[in-house]
Amino acid sequence: MAYRYLLLYKPYNVLSQFTTEPQAHSAARSAQPATLKDYVTVPDVYAVGRLDRDSEGLLLLTNDGPLQHRLSHPKFQHRRQYWVQVENTPDPSALRQLEQGVTIRGYQTSPAQVKAIAPPELPPRNPPIRYRKHIPTTWLELTLTEGKNRQVRRMTAAVGFPTLRLVRSALFLSGECALTLQGLKPGEWRELTTHERQALPKR
């Protein structure tokens, strides 16, 4: 079997799967969210890991089952980078807490790399985030080695700075080779290059 490796820029309000639960009522059917099937026509590929419906950014899709396991299982500490727009301005103490790990739902997160960044060049989100006139927002760059359900949102909330917009900006492969958003617009995908395929972790 020929393995396929696709990189998708998942838009906001799209499920990280190819199907959704059928709805009996026609009105409910019309309200169903978009899925990966609305953007990717390649058969028999599946997302490596997930992005929440209200998150955006990189998804790696493949039919290579062993690689899916290698990149998804927390014991391999596969690094993921996120750009996170939070409400207000986190102080150094809050950033240190995120770096050292915080407790969310009884679980202590692993240490992370965290820094404040200038607003990244991203297309506007549709619908836009909720702005509050007298409260500023800040962009952070977080690099994690784990990906529990809604982890980034719960981490920033735990230190008092709710997430307003969340974009997965990079997926790190072997060494320092990384898959990034460069050259992709929301809803677009491409095949991995030969160089990127060679940098995929060995199974």
Annotated catalytic residue within 52, 54, 64, 91: 52
What's the Rg (C-alpha) of the chain? 17
Number of Cβ within a 10 Å radius of residue 109: 21
Q: Is 81 helix (H, G, I), strand (E, B) or coil?
A: strand
What 3-state DSSP class applies to 114? Answer: strand
Q: For residue 8, give the nearest of 29, 30, 35 by alpha carbon.
A: 35
Residue position matching structure tokens 């297309």: 123
Active-site residue 52, yes or no? yes
> What span, in angstroms and rounded, lies between the C-alpha atoms of 177 and 173?
5
- Within 10 angstroms of residue 66's Cβ, the number of other Cβ atoms is 12
Q: Do 98 and 182 meet the contact criterion of CB atoms below 8 Å apart?
A: no
Q: How far apart are CA 196 and CA 179, in angstroms?
A: 8
Q: Apex CA 149: angle with CA 123 and CA 81, to 5°?
A: 45
Yes or no: say if 59 and 10 are a contact pair by the CB < 8 Å rule.
yes
The residues that are catalytic are: 52
